[in-house]
Amino acid sequence: MLFSGRVLLSKNGSGKKVIGKTKRSSSGARTFKPAIFLLGFLMIVVGVFGVLYNPSNSTYGNLPWELSEAGILSFSERGEPVFTLQEIKDFYSPESPDILKLVSFESGGDKVEALLRIPADTSSPSPGIILLPGAGVSKEGEQGLASELSRMGYASLTFDQRNQGAINIERDLELFKVGLDPVEYLMIYDVLKAADVLSAQPEIDPERLAVLGESNGGRFAIIACALEPSLKGAIGISTSGDGTEELDPSQIADSEAYRLYCSIDPETYLSALPPSKLVMIHSFNDTVISHEQALRTFALAEEPKAMYNTTDETHGYTASMQPYLEKELSLLFK
């Protein structure tokens, strides 16, 4: 799911400017309240440390990241992927002939666990998809979609996102201000390392890779695709950006918070996506992220891009999205 609420401090009025608001339910879903500038997100900035520190163009923590004044994140060379594999029994799709492997790979000084699903009925290397679940969904919980991708002829690597995709933006800001790695930076880096691992598999065609994410996973999919030119495209299901570009930086008291938020907003990276393609699939009746939010993000993207809509009253992937997904994957990997 999408990250928790956020507030930006401004220089007028009471000193606080509420941009948007989200509320997480006990199940992990969020309900959205309308806002003047954004269609659903509330940014909460807590400058607890009060440390005046500028992390631009430097390397901190375990990650070799840099951040431009405009809030655009970049990483230096990642090096060869380090990983282990073990073929395991497929408890998630027991009738499937797929090959399922448990993968452990190194990323940002940590071990990340993943499931690699490879179609069994292919005689040549398969296109590969990095599959990112929404918040609260494990790699095992995403195997239904992984199995569907396999039936289409695509291998997938699904990993456990840190905190299962949950975001603590206040803590990330604290880390950022003292030059440590925000967790969201680690999560983006994990996607890039997953791409390296996937491309190293002999069953995978390294020239035909893409990233697909649901909800919060879709946000990371867009950012990672913009940062990794080898990826053919990013597919976002039930996702959207944050709308930080609608804010006036001169009216924001905490400039470092603003730069951090820009750096983790997918919309910041839309202009860097081409020639990779953006595909969005969203329901008119999405119960968490409004269709208007998704449409706004899509409108900001440059060609090539495509958007498809369904009418399901739910959040995330549904069977009605399957024809659109299959069509766009075939176009990406043709």
Would residue 259 count as lying in a domain? yes
Number of structural domains, the chain? 1
Structural domain range at position 22: 8-75+82-332
Lowest mean pLDDT across 47-51, 69-73, 209-213, 311-315: 47-51
pLDDT for 40: 37
Q: Note the pLDDT tens digit of each residue in 139-198.
A: 999 999 999 999 999 999 999 999 888 888 999 999 999 999 999 999 999 999 999 999
Would residue 2 count as lying in a domain? no
Q: What is the mean pLDDT of residues 76-105?
A: 95
Q: Determine phi and psi for 146, rounding to 5 degrees.
A: -60, -40
Would residue 121 count as lying in a domain? yes
CATH number reported for the structural domain that contains residue 135 in this entry: 3.40.50.1820
> What is the DSSP code (8-state) at residue 316?
S
Q: Note the pLDDT tens digit of each residue in 19-67.
A: 232 333 333 333 333 433 333 333 322 332 322 233 333 334 689 999 9
Would residue 228 count as lying in a domain? yes
Residues 6+ positions from 278 with CB-CB distance below 8 Å: 222, 225, 233, 234, 236, 270, 298, 301, 304, 305, 306
Would residue 3 count as lying in a domain? no
pLDDT for 170: 93
